[in-house]
């Protein structure tokens, strides 16, 4: 049986594995200088004892939204202004109003670390602290759309300013969904006065630069070939445009190289790493989806594997895309099998837009020669992986032992 000393003494291609983590914030964030400057301008009034506007940031996963905000947070804190504070909240973990308020309160008042305090008590404590110390508080709500009672949270935080004589509360909301505010009720919308930003996906050339920057920090000198980095960038741009995917792929390729006792990461390691990384990343994203969106995704995967029941898509110039109409039909069948009441086709459009924003599918207009108003749908990941992940999450694999969905 090996010892830790033996494992740690083995040769490795890595210099600093942490540099390949999506949570690593480099001193320079390539291609996000303008976005960083805008974020700084929005929250800068807090450093001058004034209330900043609320800011909402949108963009697909892996476009540098969180990294840019955290980069700004470091600069903000380094200013050393005692009355200007920032607090980061991961709403995937703190996904209710109570948990968010509890997280914020505990960040600045460690005496509240004991459990058992109710929401009104924590909220009042937070307001008293802000008022007494005249704090300009900026709260970063990452993946804000994950909060279950979001309307209540936004209303509480924005209306807090009406109760404060000194200091203020402002928000930076980060979301993958451009349309997430559409589901908010009118009182939440009326209380928000916000600035908005959209982070565009990285291009293949930009991803190449980003990955080279991280490779220099994360790997030993000449341990990764330029060809391997270029391949990771090309695959990432083609599949998702998600920089986190590229970093994970590069990390996994390095791990495979270490497992094989090789001194270099080449194209072969990247190819070998691709399948496992795709499924891991897809599972991470899909696990956060509501059940009906998971069913829509399963419907698409089923159709991609089985082919269309009533037409040949090749007639329209593609052999790996689907009509939205047939996806809805398959979704209805899946709802019946899972004893779920299907949503209307209008909901399907919203679901498809959300899935595209997350990089799980791509959508395109059907164009001329196709009857009716419809869209072509294409999966962003292998359908076998998507089906396997969704079935595992739904925990009902027996219903889908056959690849065929007859609808009987």
What pLDDT, in 10s, does the model give residues 313-329?
444 444 567 888 899 99
* Number of CB atoms found within 10 A of residue 131's CB: 15
Give a yes or no: residue 171 inside a domain. Answer: yes
Tell me which of 199, 226, 241 is where a domain ends. 199
> For the domain that residue 235 is a member of, what is the CATH number?
1.10.8.60
CA 160 – CA 127 distance, rounded (Å): 7
Q: Containing domain of residue 331, as a range?
A: 291-400
Q: What is the pLDDT of residue 136?
A: 98
Give a yes or no: residue 93 inside a domain. Answer: yes
Using 50, 70 and 90 to split pLDDT, how confident is the model at 127? very high
What pLDDT, in 10s, does the model give residues 194-210?
889 999 989 989 999 99
Q: What is the pLDDT of residue 107?
A: 96
Say yes or no: 42 and 186 in one domain: yes
Give a yes or no: residue 249 inside a domain. Answer: yes
Tell me which of 199, 223, 245 is where a domain ends. 199
Q: What is the pLDDT of residue 367?
A: 55
> Does residue 116 or residue 368 have the better pLDDT?
116
Question: In this structure, are residues 100 and 94 in contact, taking their beta carbons and an 8 Å threshold?
Answer: yes
Closest CA to 217 of 6, 15, 408: 15
> Does residue 30 or residue 395 have the better pLDDT?
30
Say yes or no: 108 and 174 in one domain: yes
Question: Of all helices (H) and strands (E), which one includes residue 103?
Answer: helix 97-108
Above 60 in pLDDT, residue 351?
A: yes
Give a yes or no: residue 3 inside a domain. Answer: no
**Which residue matches tokens 């924003």?**
357
Say yes or no: 247 and 317 in one domain: no
Using 50, 70 and 90 to split pLDDT, how confident is the model at 366? low
Above 60 in pLDDT, residue 222?
A: yes
Q: What is the pLDDT of residue 408?
A: 34
CA 247 – CA 84 distance, rounded (Å): 34
Would you say how long the chain is, in residues? 408
> For the domain that residue 167 is a member of, what is the CATH number?
3.40.50.300
Say yes or no: 175 and 142 in one domain: yes
Question: In this structure, are residues 259 and 283 in contact, taking their beta carbons and an 8 Å threshold?
Answer: no
**Residue 83 contacts by C-beta under 8 Å, 6 or more apart in sequence?**
49, 133, 134, 135, 136, 167
Using 50, 70 and 90 to split pLDDT, how confident is the model at 150? very high
Q: What is the pLDDT of residue 317?
A: 43
Tell me which of 286, 319, 338 is where a domain ends. 286
Say yes or no: 216 and 320 in one domain: no
Q: What is the pLDDT of residue 404?
A: 39
In the chain, the number of structural domains is 3
Say yes or no: 297 and 210 in one domain: no
Computed on alpha carbons and rounded to an integer, the radius of gyration of the chain in Å comes to 24
Give a yes or no: residue 405 inside a domain. Answer: no
**Residue 142 contacts by C-beta under 8 Å, 6 or more apart in sequence?**
66, 69, 88, 89, 90, 91, 92, 174
Say yes or no: 135 and 53 in one domain: yes
Give a yes or no: residue 8 inside a domain. Answer: no
Say yes or no: 129 and 109 in one domain: yes
Using 50, 70 and 90 to split pLDDT, how confident is the model at 373? low
Using 50, 70 and 90 to split pLDDT, how confident is the model at 397? very low
pTM equals 0.78
* 24-38, 60-74, 144-158, 171-185: least confident range: 171-185
Say yes or no: 152 and 74 in one domain: yes
> Average pLDDT, stretch 49-56?
95
Round the average pLDDT of the chain to a whole number and report it. 87
> For the domain that residue 315 is a member of, what is the CATH number?
1.10.10.10
Q: What is the pLDDT of residue 362?
A: 85
Say yes or no: 77 and 172 in one domain: yes
Give a yes or no: residue 312 inside a domain. Answer: yes
* 47-61, 278-292, 297-311, 369-383: least confident range: 369-383
* Number of CB atoms found within 10 A of residue 297's CB: 30
What pLDDT, in 10s, does the model give residues 62-86?
899 999 999 999 999 999 999 999 9
* Number of CB atoms found within 10 A of residue 177's CB: 19
Question: Of all helices (H) and strands (E), which one includes residue 363?
Answer: strand 361-365
Residues of the chain with pLDDT > 90: what percent?
61
Q: What is the pLDDT of residue 265?
A: 97
Q: What is the pLDDT of residue 233?
A: 93
Closest CA to 157 of 174, 169, 145, 148: 169
Q: Which three-class secondary structure state does DSSP give residue 58?
A: strand
Say yes or no: 181 and 315 in one domain: no
Give a yes or no: residue 17 inside a domain. Answer: no
Say yes or no: 58 and 129 in one domain: yes
């Amino acid at each position: 049986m090996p010892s830790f000393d033996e494992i740690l003494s083995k040769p490795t291609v890595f210099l600093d594995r942490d540099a390949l983590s999506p949570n690593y914030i480099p001193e320079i964030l390539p291609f996000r200088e303008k976005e960083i400057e805008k974020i700084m301008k929005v929250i800068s009034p807090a450093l001058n004892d004034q209330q900043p506007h609320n800011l909402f940031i949108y963009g697909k996963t892996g476009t540098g939204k969180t990294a840019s905000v955290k980069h700004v947070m470091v600069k903000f804190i380094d200013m050393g202004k005692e009355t200007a504070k920032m607090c980061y909240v991961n709403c995937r973990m703190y996904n209710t109003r109570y948990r968010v308020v509890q997280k914020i309160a505990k960040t600045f008042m460690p005496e509240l670390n004991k459990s058992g305090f109710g929401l009104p008590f924590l909220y009042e404590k937070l307001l008293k602290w802000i008022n007494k110390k005249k704090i300009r508080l900026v709260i970063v709500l990452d993946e804000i759309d994950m909060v279950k009672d979001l309307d209540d949270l936004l209303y509480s935080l924005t209306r807090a300013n009406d109760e404060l004589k000194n200091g203020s509360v402002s928000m930076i909301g980060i979301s993958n969904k451009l349309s997430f505010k559409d589901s908010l009720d009118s009182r939440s919308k009326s209380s928000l006065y916000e600035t908005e930003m959209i982070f565009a996906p990285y291009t293949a050339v930009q991803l190449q630069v980003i990955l080279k920057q991280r490779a220099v920090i994360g790997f030993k000198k000449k341990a990764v070939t330029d060809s391997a980095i270029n391949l990771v960038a090309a695959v990432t741009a083609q599949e998702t445009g998600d920089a986190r995917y590229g970093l994970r792929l590069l990390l996994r390729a390095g791990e495979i190289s270490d497992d094989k006792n090789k001194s270099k990461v080449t194209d072969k390691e990247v190819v070998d790493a691709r399948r496992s990384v795709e499924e891991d990343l897809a599972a991470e994203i899909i696990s956060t989806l509501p059940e009906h969106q998971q069913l829509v995704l399963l419907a698409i995967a089923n159709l991609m594997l089985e082919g269309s029941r009533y037409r040949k898509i090749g007639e329209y110039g593609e052999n790996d895309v689907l009509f939205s109409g047939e996806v809805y039909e398959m979704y209805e069948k899946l709802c019946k099998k899972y004893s779920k009441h299907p949503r209307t086709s209008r909901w399907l459009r919203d679901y498809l837009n959300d899935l595209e924003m997350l990089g799980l599918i791509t959508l395109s207009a059907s164009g001329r020669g196709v009857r009716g108003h419809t869209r072509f749908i294409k999966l962003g990941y292998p359908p076998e992986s998507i089906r396997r992940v969704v079935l595992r999450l739904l925990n009902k694999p027996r219903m889908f032992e056959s690849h065929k969905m007859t609808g009987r």
